[in-house]
């Protein structure tokens, strides 16, 4: 089994629409949307939720009003300033202590030191994860609650579930739509993958974000390839990006031109391959052709067999 993660370093480069196209082009795969803070891959894949599960991301503290004697100890222990006072006429001092659920980091220190055991410290539901069916195979995706942390842990859950499904169903490829940035969720989506597809665009911010991302990738020593989306918007920056890729031993997998059909496909809730056959769709097919060769090489390298070819096939005519 090969795990491919698609990363961009920044949002808005067309990463998810590229993953949507790969979903239509590759066969026998499982899809995972690890951009858990802003999951949107399902929106272009005609999905149908088959399973919904709660995600327990950690614990949260809550003061039990009846037990609290307003001693005022707990705010001193909270290094996140999550314990505050609110007006309460019924209390002797005219105020009581409360915990701001959005500021609480769930460390549990306040509950440990409260002399009255007046702080309830229990698990909290931080979001949900889903297994959906799409015309292009199973999709694992999630919805993290507002201001909820632990997105890296949720990414790990999605990837574990996707791996189990791939093993049970005999699927050879897992395609992961990775989160933006270079933080914890990106590291969680990178760990143990076999190949990274970098989707970028010709802009200065994309170039800078790509430099930061490639620095991170160098620690993981994972083979990578790059495609440049909307390459025709700035030929100079496209050339700089390609030079950067060559200098960093990143395979150049192709250029995708600006094409309004990509946006039209998204508005219609479809991926750009199923939606039509414009210039971007043609370029994406060419990118997939090169990417498939890269994945086959990775598979051969891993298995130590030069003759056996992984069953990563096209889903459409090239
Ligand atoms: S330490 Fe316990 S009893 Fe004291 S104010 Fe905090 S919650 Fe109330
Ligand atoms: S659990 Fe930790 S972060 Fe939350 S209120 Fe208590 S001390 Fe503060």
For residue 167, is it within any domain?
yes
- Which residue among 107, 123, 147 is best mutated to probe the pocket of ligand 2, counting the most ligand atoms within 8 A of its Cβ? 107
For residue 109, is it within any domain?
yes
- Confidence check: pLDDT of 318 > 80: no
State the closest ligand 1 atom to the C-alpha of 113, by its place in the atom list counted from 1: 1
Closest C-alpha among 56, 17, 70, 58 to residue 227: 17
For residue 228, is it within any domain?
yes
For residue 168, is it within any domain?
yes
Q: Which of 72, 90, 125 is the last residue of a domain?
A: 125
pLDDT tens per residue across span 88-117: 999 988 999 999 998 999 999 999 999 999
For residue 316, is it within any domain?
no
Going by alpha carbons, the residue nearest to atom 2 of ligand 1 is 114
Let me know whether 66 and 171 are in one domain: no
Proximal ligand: closest to the CA of 99? 2
Q: Are 62 and 106 in contact (CB under 8 A)?
A: no
* Local confidence band at 303 (pLDDT 50, 70, 90 cut-offs): confident
* Local confidence band at 75 (pLDDT 50, 70, 90 cut-offs): very high
Give residue 56 CA to ligand 1 midpoint distance, Å. Answer: 26
pLDDT tens per residue across span 124-161: 888 999 999 999 999 999 998 876 666 888 999 999 99
CB distance 71 to ligand 1 below 6 Å:
yes
Let me know whether 30 and 68 are in one domain: no
Proximal ligand: closest to the CA of 110? 2
Let me know whether 164 and 269 are in one domain: yes
Let me know whether 153 and 265 are in one domain: yes
Q: Are 141 and 85 in contact (CB under 8 A)?
A: no
Give residue 108 CA to ligand 2 midpoint distance, Å. Answer: 5
Going by alpha carbons, the residue nearest to atom 4 of ligand 1 is 71
For residue 221, is it within any domain?
yes
CB distance 61 to ligand 2 below 6 Å:
yes
CB distance 110 to ligand 2 below 6 Å:
yes
Let me know whether 294 and 175 are in one domain: yes
* Local confidence band at 317 (pLDDT 50, 70, 90 cut-offs): very low
Let me know whether 40 and 168 are in one domain: yes
The number of folded domains in the chain is 2
CB distance 114 to ligand 2 below 6 Å:
no
Q: What pLDDT, on a 0 to 100 scale, did the predictor assign at position 308?
A: 40
For residue 208, is it within any domain?
yes
Going by alpha carbons, the residue nearest to atom 3 of ligand 1 is 68
Q: What pLDDT, on a 0 to 100 scale, did the predictor assign at position 157?
A: 94
CB distance 11 to ligand 1 below 6 Å:
no
Closest C-alpha among 140, 130, 74 to residue 107: 74
Give the Cβ contact number of residue 290 at 10 Å: 15
Give residue 265 CA to ligand 1 midpoint distance, Å. Answer: 56
- What CATH number is associated with residue 121? 3.30.70.20
Let me know whether 205 and 84 are in one domain: no
State the closest ligand 1 atom to the C-alpha of 83, by its place in the atom list counted from 1: 6
Q: Which of 74, 105, 125 is the last residue of a domain?
A: 125
Let me know whether 173 and 118 are in one domain: no
Give the Cβ contact number of residue 138 at 10 Å: 21
Which of 50-54, 176-180, 275-279 comes out lowest in average pLDDT? Answer: 275-279
Distance, CA of 40 to CA of 213 (rounded, Å): 22
Give residue 75 CA to ligand 2 midpoint distance, Å. Answer: 9
How open is the CA angle 53-37-147, to the nearest 5 degrees? Answer: 90
For residue 53, is it within any domain?
no
Distance, CA of 101 to CA of 94 (rounded, Å): 22
Q: What pLDDT, on a 0 to 100 scale, did the predictor assign at position 60?
A: 92
Give residue 100 CA to ligand 2 midpoint distance, Å. Answer: 9
- What CATH number is associated with residue 157? 3.40.50.300
Going by alpha carbons, the residue nearest to atom 6 of ligand 1 is 74
Range of the domain at 81: 58-125
- Confidence check: pLDDT of 226 > 90: yes
- Name the percent of the chain lying above pLDDT 90: 75
- Confidence check: pLDDT of 277 > 90: no
């Amino acid at each position: 089994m090969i795990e491919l993660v698609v990363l961009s370093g920044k949002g808005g480069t067309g990463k998810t629409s590229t993953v949507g196209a790969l979903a239509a082009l590759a066969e026998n795969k499982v899809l995972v949307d690890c951009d858990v803070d802003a999951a949107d891959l399902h929106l272009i894949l005609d999905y149908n939720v088959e399973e919904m599960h709660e995600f327990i991301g950690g614990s949260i503290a809550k003061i039990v009003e009846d037990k609290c004697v307003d001693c005022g100890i707990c705010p001193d222990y909270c290094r996140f300033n999550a314990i505050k006072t609110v007006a309460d006429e019924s209390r002797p001092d005219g105020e009581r202590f409360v915990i701001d659920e959005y500021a609480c980091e769930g460390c549990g220190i306040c509950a440990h030191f409260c002399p009255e055991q007046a702080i309830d410290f229990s698990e909290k539901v931080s979001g949900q994860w889903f297994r959906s069916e799409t015309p292009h195979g199973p999709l694992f995706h999630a919805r993290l609650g507002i201001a909820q942390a632990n997105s890296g842990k949720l990414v790990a859950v999605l990837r574990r579930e996707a791996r189990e499904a791939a093993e049970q169903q005999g699927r050879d490829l897992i395609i992961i739509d990775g989160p933006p940035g270079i933080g914890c969720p990106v590291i969680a989506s990178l760990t143990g993958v076999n190949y990274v597809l970098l989707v970028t665009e010709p802009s200065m911010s994309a170039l800078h974000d790509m430099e930061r991302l490639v620095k991170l990738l160098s620690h993981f020593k994972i083979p990578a390839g790059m495609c440049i989306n909307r390459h025709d918007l700035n030929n100079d920056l496209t050339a700089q990006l390609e030079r950067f890729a060559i200098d960093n031993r990143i395979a150049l997998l192709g250029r995708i031109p600006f094409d309004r059909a990509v946006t039209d496909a998204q508005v219609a809730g479809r991926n750009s391959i199923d939606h039509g056959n414009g210039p971007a769709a043609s370029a994406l097919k060419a990118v997939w052709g090169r990417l498939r060769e890269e994945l086959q090489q990775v598979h051969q390298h891993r298995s130590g067999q030069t003759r056996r070819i992984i069953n990563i096939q096209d889903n459409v005519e090239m």
